[in-house]
Amino acid sequence: MKNFILFISIVLCYLLITYLDKTFITTNSKIFDFLSKDYPSEVVQNYMKSQQKWWWVSFIIIPVFIGIKVLLVSFCLNFLKIVSEKLENVKFSDILFFVLLAESVFIIAGFYKFVNFYFIETDYSLESIQTYYPLSLINFKESISTEKWLAYPLQLFNLFELMYWGFLAWGVWELAEQKIDYLKSFGYVALTYGIGLFFWVGVICFLILSISY
C-alpha cells in the first residue's frame, strides 16, 4: 500500500509539472512561432487543433511512463540479490519503495526547470526548452559537440542524475541493514542500474543515428 500511495504522489507531482509547463512555458504561441518557421500556416493550424483535441494524452502517458521506468530500475537493482549475500533476502517491494523515493530527485529537477524559464530565462525559444536540462552538460553542448546523437547522453550527465544514483546507493545501504559501506553500495548501483542505463543510452543513440543518416 505504501508503494501505491508513493507512486500516486509522484504521478500527481509530474502531472502538476506538466500542467505548469503547458500553461506557462510551452504555450501555444511558442509552439506556433516555432513551427511557423518551417511549415505553412495551414499545416501549423491543423497541428494546433489536433493538439487541443488530444491534450489529455500526455497526462495519460505520464503514469504509464513512470510506472515502466520505476519497474525497470527496480528490476535492475533486483540483481543485487545475486551480487551480494547480504541482500539475497531483500523483497522486490522494498527495492521498489526506495526507487520510488529516489524518483523525487527528478521531480525537483522538473520544478527547477519551470522556475528557470518562468522567472530567470524568460526570453526563450521552444528549441531551447527541448534541449535544456537543469545542471547538465547539454547546456554546454555547443562548446562540446553539435552531434545530435550526443544530446541525450549530455542530458544524462547532470547533477540530478548523480543525486539519483546517490539516493539509490543509500537505499541499497539501508536494504543491506548498513552491513556494507556506502561506497560499496554505490558500486552495486553502478553494476546493476548503471549497466542497464548504459544499454538504454546505447539504444537511444543508435536510434538517433539511424534516423539522422
pLDDT of residue 144: 66
3-state secondary structure the chain: CHHHHHHHHHHHHHHHHHHHHHHHHCCHHHHHHHHHCCCCHHHHHHHHHHHHHCCHHHHHHHHHHHHHHHHHHHHHHCCHHHHCHHHCCCCHHHHHHHHHHHCHHHHHHHHHHHHHHHHHCCCCCHHHHHHCCCCEHHHHHHHHCCCHHHHHHHHHCEHHHHHHHHHHHHHHHHHCCCCCCHHHHHHHHHHHHHHHHHHHHHHHHHHHHHHHC
**Average pLDDT estimate for 85-95:** 92
pLDDT of residue 39: 84
pLDDT of residue 84: 87
pLDDT of residue 201: 93
Position 213 pLDDT exceeds 70: no
pLDDT of residue 145: 64
Please provide the average confidence, as pLDDT, over all residues in the chain: 91
pLDDT of residue 93: 96
**Average pLDDT estimate for 97-118:** 96
Task: Give the chain's domain count.
Answer: 1
pLDDT in tens, 22-76: 999 998 888 888 888 888 888 888 888 888 888 888 899 999 999 999 999 999 9
**Average pLDDT estimate for 69-91:** 92
pLDDT of residue 56: 87
Q: How confident is the model at residue 91 (pLDDT cuts 50, 70, 90)?
A: very high
Domain containing residue 56:
2-212
pLDDT of residue 16: 97
pLDDT in tens, 137-151: 888 776 666 677 788
Q: How confident is the model at residue 169 (pLDDT cuts 50, 70, 90)?
A: very high
